[in-house]
Amino acid sequence: MVLAGTIEKKTGNISLSWSVVMAVACLIFLFAFLFHRFYLPCPSTDISGSENRKGFADAFRTYFQQEKIIYIVMFILLYRLGEAMLVKMTGPFLLDSPEAGGLGLATETVGYLYGTVGVISLSVGGILGGWLISAYGLKKCLLPMAIMLNAPDLLYVYLAMFQPPIETVYLMVALEQFGYGLGFTAFSVFLIYITRDPYKTSHFAISTGLMALGMMLPGMISGMLQSVLGYVNFFIFVLVFTIPGMVLLFFIPLDNSREQNME
């Protein structure tokens, strides 16, 4: 976004700025794909389709035969429901004019806000979350980290209501991204926790597919909802949407002995 904002400033051509950014992103993802294809390790217990023709079907069958699978699937779909709504509208909110209820920031500023401050805060939260889970276990950490994921959404209600100076915006986005780092780390570890031999990689892929679905579907209606409610009421609704995932925390299977086996 910083690159897009810089090109936009110099050329005045918004389409060109985003075309360049997308081309750069494409090259980065291509490089990442090639690197991961040859260097990422797979669990030694994995069975590939070439070794077992039933591997593909068995991976799905064993995944959906797990204990409390209905609660697991609902949790994966709904854990980030509020965040799924929020993340689609943060960009428009930061860029929209104050008259439209936004903060009226420049594209370049939003790039620094999320691409620098946000990424640093997210990384710190993720690293801290990993350390805490390693030290205290997923069962003890999942609820507090879920709260840390969702509670900072309240900050966007404040931003929409009072449109504070840019320094406050930086601070609040940093806090929200830090909490997101903590909460998403716990969620990622849970997705690993529910994988089973000999299809750990396949099970994780199924879980991440469900996770993506849980982010995509709410995101499809977030813009329409915001246009009806306005930013303040939309962010209040985002807080309401965090409740289902929090409730499901008390129904998913979490076994300390299983955590020890993960290690």
Q: Which of 33-42, 160-169, 233-242 has the lowest mean pLDDT?
A: 33-42
pLDDT confidence tier of residue 256, bands split at 50, 70 and 90:
low
DSSP for 90-133, written as a single string: HHHHHHS-GGGTS----HHHHHHIIIIIIHHHHHHHHHHHHHHH
What gap in Å lies between CA 210 and CA 95, rounded to an integer?
A: 30
pTM of the model: 0.82
Each residue of 8-49: pLDDT tens digit? 888 888 888 899 999 999 999 999 999 998 888 876 666 555
Type of residue numbered 52: N
User: 56-262 belongs to which homologous superfamily?
Assistant: MFS general substrate transporter like domains (1.20.1250.20)
Q: Domain residue spans in the chain?
A: 1-40, 56-262
pLDDT at 261 over 50: no
Type of residue numbered 242: T
The pLDDT, as a whole number, for residue 196 is 85
**Is the separation of the CB atoms in 92 and 156 below 8 Å?**
no
What gap in Å lies between CA 71 and CA 178, rounded to an integer?
A: 27
Mean pLDDT within 203-224: 92
Contacts of 63 (CB under 8 A, 6+ apart): 69, 196, 199, 202, 203, 206
The pLDDT, as a whole number, for residue 262 is 54
What gap in Å lies between CA 95 and CA 159, rounded to an integer?
A: 13
CA 185 to chain centre: 9
